[in-house]
Structure 1
Amino acid sequence: MPFLSAVFAPVQLNDSEQVVIYAPEYLQRVSDLINSTDKSVLNNYMILTVVRKTASSLDHRFQDAQDKFLEVMYGIKKSCTPRWKLCVSDTDSALGFALGAMFVKATFAEDSKKIAEEMITQIKMAFEDSLQYVGWMDVETRKAAKEKADAIYNMIGYPKFIMDSKELDKVFNDYTVVSDLYFQNVMQYYNFSARVTADQLRKAPNREQWSMTPPTVNAYYSPTKNEMVFPAGILQAPFYTRTWPKALNFGGIGVVMGHELTHAFDDEGREYDKEGNLRPWWNNASIEAFKKQTECMVEQYGNYSINREAMNGKHTLGENIADNGGLKAAYKAYESWTRKHGEEEVLPSLGLTNQQLFFVGFAQVWCSVRTPESSHEGMITDPHSPSRFRVIGTVSNSQEFSKHFSCPAGSPMNPARKCELW
């Protein structure tokens, strides 16, 4: 309680305060580890954590030391990121919604939000249509799953308040900036952010509250709110461009939309109902069947390796379910779009059909290069599979991919056993 009281100050806590603990076993093991670890090691760890958190805000002596540390941990050589990019990144971290207003005005076309909403609707319909073919799920649970998908709330582009300067000022009214004192500004932002968080205690959840700033190139699904959020930052190339062929857009941002939607039904998201409550809403038979179905993916991804280090298929299960479900829903939505609007013109010189282009659009968003050290760190801590296997693992489970690329039966990209949940 003393720790929580310090974290939530100046909000007053008492011994009757309800605390939700999502991972009691983890916290117990961490507590045991702390109690059994030499206090000097704990002190060093806490000091290092503070130094790492603040080093980028200090002068070159600290940044040079951090560069050496990062080289050992991730194989990253001395950072050559332009200073303007660092400044923009720091501004987004602290004043992201103010920066977001500028970003939206400069990059986000007025009809982009409408187009994204239409795509999400099409993908949601495709996902719900697929539910009727999920043979391992009983009728009652399947009906409840459709209701949950129907109830998912979409937040696209940016929150409305950022385009109103008066409303934006209210958000940062309690944050004071001091000229020429960068480090002090950073520390004051941490305090300001903590006060904002503490002030939300005991208040009803605000469904309109964003956990990502508009320029962020990412998206998320919130199980406790049953909502999906797609900031303006990800509604850009290579995920989406309003003038691109629909095949590329469905293969890019469309799969991301399907991915976030499927998170509502992965190994963790499925435990929350359509209102965001953590409660049992599946029949026991469907729960057991779901677990049985997931064994295929756990085994499949567990057989992949990076630099001779095997992946942990159980650790990445939730994201793998979302990748596979997202690709399937997005492709089905694209097929539906072509039936309604007719086939698009084929891009010249590529020698690819539009169906093949869809899968290329999906694959290219995961093009990346990582050092061996960074790959090792990702294998241990990242719930996502390495980018290579987010592509290979997912498309090798796709009947449509095998069909359109004429992969021989039994080949690595068209195995006899394909893993499928949704």
Structure 2
Amino acid sequence: MLVMENEEFVEGQPTWKKCIDVVQGSVGLPLLAMHEGKYFKNQDYEQVREIAFAVQEEFRAMLNENEWLDEITRQTAIDKLNAFSFHIGLLTLDDTLIANYYDKLEISSENYLKAMMSVNSVLQHMHYSCLRHLVGTVDWMDHTVLNKMDLIYSQTGNKLHIPGHILQGIFFNASRPRYLNYATVGSLIGSEITTGFGRQYDKHGNVNNWWGTKIEAVFLEKEECVASMLFNSIELRSQVEMLGLTGGLKQSYLAYMKWTKRNATEAPLAGLTYNQEQLFWISAAQLWCQKCGDNNLQNFAEYKVNEAFRNSINFSRDFKCSLGSPMNPTKKCNVW
């Protein structure tokens, strides 16, 4: 079977699964557009957009209230945040644009080889057409990576892609209480803003360290506080994830609390004794549930969630954890 570039097949994989993988790798964009057109509605888009901007505004407030940033760095950070953008699903993408993109695609059920050669030609043309274009002038093509089950932050574009097809199930539902959605999609958006908002790229997406030496030293000291909580065998990537989760939870929680001041009080979940704030934390933790081996340090979701919660004064207050208890230590590590 002819395989797309970078396509990986698992040995023993059933033929139907291989075929689906080929189709997704070949014409994933129109497939996503069709899927979202059926399952991802305008009300979903509007609520995710509301949550995204609320979390972004909370990060802005955190920058303004930050005590270790100097004024020049603070303003540069705010300028970068002002240039930050969200791409939510494909509802705002013009169908004509997608149709024109695949205009020269020729698929025949009688000739698989010719069909795959045509697909490769179209995809290669897309890659080469991006040459000599400034970052941002072909933004719509970035949607071709949205077949992944994750949020994607582009440092060079200073934008966050939120795939519409993941906004379902435990992750998001426009009909359920806001405290559940802020806890899940909101905390992940906040995590991406926190981890993606680094010092190596400026607001235009160019490589440019915009932090001064003193500010960078303070940041690294605070980062080391967070890293010291982790096992020595945990990789650096996990330390970054830890920073992101801690910051994302703080942003999404405070954003939800501001939402409650502008809207009617939501009812707690029937049959449970937890209040709305406690359900926020439970929902945020449930998002990371997974099955893994006892010795699998790469999948340390339980440990990561516990450490993020331990460093939150909001969590300890909502669950009335005694100061000095395991989930409310006297020393807490926070960067933002």
**TM-score per shorter chain, which class?**
0.7 to 0.9
Tell which structure's C-alpha radius of gyration is larger. 1
- Cα–Cα, structure 1 residues 388 and 189, in superposed 2: closer, same or farther, change >3 Å? farther
- Cα–Cα, structure 1 residues 52 and 232, in superposed 2: closer, same or farther, change >3 Å? closer
8 A Cα contact 1:119 1:254, kept in partner? yes
Out of 111, 126, 130, the position equivalent to 1:200 is 130
Instruction: Map residues 11-410 of structure 1 onto 2, 5 A cutoff.
Output: 56=9, 66-67=11-12, 87-158=19-90, 160-161=92-93, 164=95, 166-179=96-109, 185-186=115-116, 189-190=119-120, 192-205=122-135, 206-213=138-145, 216-265=148-197, 269-302=198-231, 310-312=233-235, 314-371=236-293, 375=296, 379=298, 386-410=300-324
Counterparts of 1:371 and 1:174, CA distance in 2: 48
Q: Percent identity?
A: 28
Which position in structure 2 is the counterpart of 1:4?
A: none
Counterparts of 2:43 and 2:113, CA distance in 1: 40
Shift of 1:311: 1.6
Which position in structure 2 is the counterpart of 1:73?
A: none
8 A Cα contact 2:68 2:218, kept in partner? yes
Which position in structure 1 is the counterpart of 2:329?
A: 415
- Cα–Cα, structure 1 residues 409 and 352, in superposed 2: closer, same or farther, change >3 Å? same
Counterparts of 1:122 and 1:237, CA distance in 2: 22
8 A Cα contact 2:183 2:252, kept in partner? yes
Counterparts of 1:344 and 1:54, CA distance in 2: 46
**Unmatched segments (≥5 aa) in structure 2:** none
Counterparts of 2:7 and 2:321, CA distance in 1: 51
8 A Cα contact 1:103 1:214, kept in partner? no
**Unmatched segments (≥5 aa) in structure 1:** 1-49, 57-62, 68-78, 304-309, 380-384
- Cα–Cα, structure 1 residues 108 and 55, in superposed 2: closer, same or farther, change >3 Å? closer
Shift of 1:258: 0.8
Per-residue deviation, residues 389-418 of structure 1 (Å, max 9, x unmatched): 332221121111111122232333222222
State TM-score, norm by structure 2: 0.88
* Counterpart code for 1:410: G
- Cα–Cα, structure 1 residues 230 and 54, in superposed 2: closer, same or farther, change >3 Å? closer
| Secondary structure class of the residue paired with 2:161 | strand
- Cα–Cα, structure 1 residues 403 and 86, in superposed 2: closer, same or farther, change >3 Å? farther
8 A Cα contact 1:218 1:233, kept in partner? no
Counterparts of 1:388 and 1:187, CA distance in 2: 46
| Secondary structure class of the residue paired with 1:111 | helix
State TM-score, norm by structure 1: 0.71
| Secondary structure class of the residue paired with 1:315 | helix
8 A Cα contact 2:4 2:22, kept in partner? no
| Secondary structure class of the residue paired with 2:86 | strand
* Counterpart code for 1:277: N
Shift of 1:420: 0.5
Per-residue deviation, residues 43-81 of structure 1 (Å, max 9, x unmatched): xxxxxxx9996663xxxxxx5xx25xxxxxxxxxxx6x8
The number of aligned residues is 332
Shift of 1:244: 0.6
